[in-house]
Amino acid sequence: MRARKLVWPLALVTSLALPASLAAPAAAQSPAAPPASCDPTRTEPVYRGKVPSPEQVLGFELGERPVSAAESDRYLETVAAKSERVVSGTLATSAQGRPLRYAIAGRPGLVTKAGLAKVRTEAGLLREPRTPDALAERITRHGVPILWVSGNVHGNEPSGTDAALRVLRGLGDRTDCAAKAILDNALVVILPTQNPDGREAGTRQNAYGFDMNRDWFARTQPETDGKLAMLTRFPPALYIDAHEMGGTSYFFPPNADPIYHETPEQAIGWINDLYGASMAAEFTRRGIDFFNRDVYDLFYQGYGDSVPTSGFHAAGMTFEKGNSSPYPEKVEEQYLTQWVTLSAAAANRRRVLTEWRQMTVDAHRQGVAGKLEPNQIYNPPNQIDRQVPDRKVRHYFLQEGDPAKRDEVRTVVRRLQRMGVRVERLVRPLTVPDFRPYGEAEGKETLPAGTYWISMAQGQKHWIQAMLNEDSYTPFPYFYDVTAWSLPLLANVRGGSSGAVLRPRAVPVGTVPAPRPGHEGKAPRLGVLQLSATSSAARESAGWLRHRLDRDWKLPYTMLTPADVAAGGLAGIEVLVTPDGPASSAYDALGDAGRAALQEWTRGGGRYIGWQGGTQLAARLGLTTATLSEPTSDIPGTLFRVKVDEDGPLAEDVGGTVWNFTAYDLVMRASSGVAAAYPEADSPEWFVSGFERGAAELGGTAAVVDQPAGEGRSVLFAAEPNFRAFTDGTAKLLYNAILGPAPERAAAPRAAAAAEAARRAAALPSHESPIRVSVRASDAAAAASVLRSVGATWDEGRDGGVVHYVVDNPRGLPTDHHPFAGRLPSLIAEAGIDPVAVTLP
């Protein structure tokens, strides 16, 4: 502790000495408040003509049609070249080699090297809780907030890009009071296209099949990683993430419940009362249709709104324009929300900076007190489903005791550090009276020297809790996305928390390097069977695997389709990996020849590895005795501790347990070859992080089976072992399945048992990204009526007092593009139903 007390004041003195301009009031450059008469959107734009129009550069006006990624870059470059208010750069390169170009716009004095350095230094001082109040006060008086405008993270939602370019042109060239108000009071970072590969391909995902609006905390994709690195350099007080959805309406916040409990209140205040209210007033005045407080929540910590909010204390906002409107209208409305929001931030420059500073101070204070923020409901009459436990958390610890887990621990530490979290290491053992290991009861424990220590007494307290939590404490049973993401659990590393007042002897840790990619041993001749070219589940799961094989493990492979398999594509393949996808359509697509080829290849000595749909296909082909059944529980993306057979080859470097990411997966039962299993639900090993209802049905079932099949072997996972390529713990099981030895020779399975498993697998219904609604039996008639009213078709199951509706989604559309999925939560509420769970695709 002593060391830190010395270091911090020194750091402050140094940073105080650096920006000389801070000491003296910058009278000449002091930003002026816009005149009250200047209306942000009714003011006629006045262009000075220094910047060529889009027509002059591209041959058409923005909004006539979507610009291509290259056209976007060309116009952005032109503005930066011609305007002294704009500079540009590249923050990342996509998988297919396209640059992610950004522009920074502000007063000419601010966008010089020295000007940008000053803005960054001031932002850094405001984000440091130990900065003296007087200095912080001076910065809020004269400084400017950093505001981000970004679009097109979903490649098939183009209009945010064109609107952002229109904003850029205005900031680069306009001389009227509305543009001047923004330029005088903010530094604006514009990232028109977050997903250039997706934009060119017309796909939601990037070239590796990732939905990058789920990748923000893990930053597995270079596009996300480069963006976060830039955000850390230019930390936002506002982050606009422009999307498109189905229909013709427009969504902007306030958000729907649930909202993550560590979301800072002042940021929600900005989102709802400053920006949300400004946009609502503008749209109302113009008679433009919009909605809010519905569909789009602020819970999962991997979005372009939630991460800027809890990780940077920005007003992170998702905007959604209906994609059925004509393109000019889409661009116009996107432009309006961007311009109105920037104008509102600029008009409230000092309030924004003061509250931005205050959020850091408050977060630090909460961390000192070990206080977690409670769950709240933001949209009555919703009711809190579950409260945050009343337990203090002042410290997190990560243990590197197992050398086999070194890379995983370091990946967690690195992710924290790169979001501005201070990580230290104990220099001598520390006795913690109330140490609570993840998923275990608390008790006295002495942690060895070398243990990583993360104090909650930091400005990044909200983010630390968001990343190191034992549970997300889902406040409300409505699921736009998954409910568990704790980094130590995903990585399957040891650690825990304490609420005690401790004085550890520790030293700060410099940013640890990324683990070196690669694999050990000889790579097998590897094939990847993608079950469908069109199913989004198949494309994503195969994409996550391709990322893992190409970039993390450096394992070459051959991509195969069912038709390839039927045409002899398995020749020479030693290990075949079959990720998720529609098993029944793939079964049909294989045909007699493909099915026989897969069976003969496996029984002839091949190693078949599958999960979800890939597991179901193996069962249908008689390659396992494990039986599969539909779940009757609600598990919308949740981590379960499962026990690993430590004698089997899959356990190498994993240990006795691993956290299994489960999301409405098929329930797998096996009497032999169980490599990983859920503990009994009433045993002390049972632990769940995230939402579940009825998950006890998983108790004692198999998570992974590893069985002989003739001379070959099938390794089958019930759930996705490589979810979004961030479940590093279970990915190690997959790594061992591909590269490890076969188990000791086990007894050959009985043919009758395999036939029975095949019969059951064939009887399973086929659902592509379904909508799931679960209600109490007393609400069943009302729920069915709601589903009928939107034209849904569904399968219905009853378990205990709960009725489960699995609603077909034949095209596998995500909620934002689905014709009725987004409307279901409010229709269910209007029908007076208090649902058990609503899970959107």
Query: What's the CA angle centered on 225, arms 356 and 185, to 5 degrees?
Result: 30
Contacts of 654 (CB under 8 A, 6+ apart): 492, 644, 729, 732, 733, 736
Taking the complex as a whole, the smallest distance from the CB of residue 334 to Zn ion amounts, in Å, to: 12
Taking the complex as a whole, the smallest distance from the CB of residue 482 to Zn ion amounts, in Å, to: 17
Q: Which is nearer to Zn ion, 243 or 595 (CB)?
A: 243
Q: Which is nearer to Zn ion, 148 or 678 (CB)?
A: 148
The 10 Å Cβ neighbour count of residue 56 is 10
Taking the complex as a whole, the smallest distance from the CB of residue 307 to Zn ion amounts, in Å, to: 15
Beta pairing class for 99-105 and 187-191:
antiparallel
Taking the complex as a whole, the smallest distance from the CB of residue 321 to Zn ion amounts, in Å, to: 10
Q: Which is nearer to Zn ion, 69 or 576 (CB)?
A: 69
Q: Which is nearer to Zn ion, 337 or 730 (CB)?
A: 337
241 sits in the region (left: phi over 0; alpha: psi -120 to 50; else beta) called: beta
Q: Which is nearer to Zn ion, 161 or 497 (CB)?
A: 161
Taking the complex as a whole, the smallest distance from the CB of residue 320 to Zn ion amounts, in Å, to: 7
| DSSP assignment of 701-724 | -EEEEEEEETTEEEEEESS-TTGG
Beta pairing class for 771-776 and 837-839:
antiparallel
Q: Which is nearer to Zn ion, 157 or 470 (CB)?
A: 157
Distance CA 413, CA 423 (A): 7
Distance CA 309, CA 97 (A): 30
Tokens of 39: 């209306």
Please give the single-letter amino acid code of residue 710. G
Of 171, 308, 310, which Cα lies nearest the Cα of 234? 308
Distance CA 333, CA 275 (A): 15
Q: Which is nearer to Zn ion, 185 or 815 (CB)?
A: 815
Distance CA 239, CA 731 (A): 33
Contact residues for Zn ion (CB under 5 A)? 154, 157, 243
Tokens of 344: 């509102």
Interior/surface letters 689-724, b for 16+ CB within 10 angstroms, e for the rest: bbbbbbbebbeebbbbbbbbbbebbbbbbbbbbbbb
Report which residue's Cβ sits closest to Zn ion: 243
Strand extents, DSSP E, 499-624: 506-508, 526-529, 558-560, 575-578, 607-611
| Residue 513: Cβ-neighbour burial (10 angstroms; 0-12, 13-18, 19+) | exposed
Q: Which is nearer to Zn ion, 128 or 211 (CB)?
A: 211
Taking the complex as a whole, the smallest distance from the CB of residue 211 to Zn ion amounts, in Å, to: 9
Which helix or strand (DSSP H or E) is residue 166 part of?
Answer: helix 159-173
Distance CA 346, CA 275 (A): 11
Taking the complex as a whole, the smallest distance from the CB of residue 328 to Zn ion amounts, in Å, to: 20
Taking the complex as a whole, the smallest distance from the CB of residue 241 to Zn ion amounts, in Å, to: 8
Taking the complex as a whole, the smallest distance from the CB of residue 838 to Zn ion amounts, in Å, to: 20
Taking the complex as a whole, the smallest distance from the CB of residue 816 to Zn ion amounts, in Å, to: 5
Q: Which is nearer to Zn ion, 152 or 578 (CB)?
A: 152
Strand extents, DSSP E, 327-480: 395-399, 424-426, 430-437, 443-447, 452-455, 478-479
Taking the complex as a whole, the smallest distance from the CB of residue 255 to Zn ion amounts, in Å, to: 15
Taking the complex as a whole, the smallest distance from the CB of residue 74 to Zn ion amounts, in Å, to: 25
Q: Which is nearer to Zn ion, 122 or 157 (CB)?
A: 157
Beta pairing class for 575-578 and 526-529:
parallel
Taking the complex as a whole, the smallest distance from the CB of residue 571 to Zn ion amounts, in Å, to: 42
HEC profile of 544-556: HHHHHHHHHCCCC
**Cα torsion angle, 350, 356, 357, 358, sign:** positive
Q: Which is nearer to Zn ion, 243 or 415 (CB)?
A: 243
Taking the complex as a whole, the smallest distance from the CB of residue 86 to Zn ion amounts, in Å, to: 27
Q: Which is nearer to Zn ion, 245 or 466 (CB)?
A: 245
Q: Which is nearer to Zn ion, 251 or 608 (CB)?
A: 251
Distance CA 670, CA 681 (A): 17
Q: Which is nearer to Zn ion, 243 or 804 (CB)?
A: 243
Contacts of 234 (CB under 8 A, 6+ apart): 104, 119, 120, 123, 146, 148, 187, 189
* Contact in structure between 638 and 684 (CB atoms under 8 Å): no
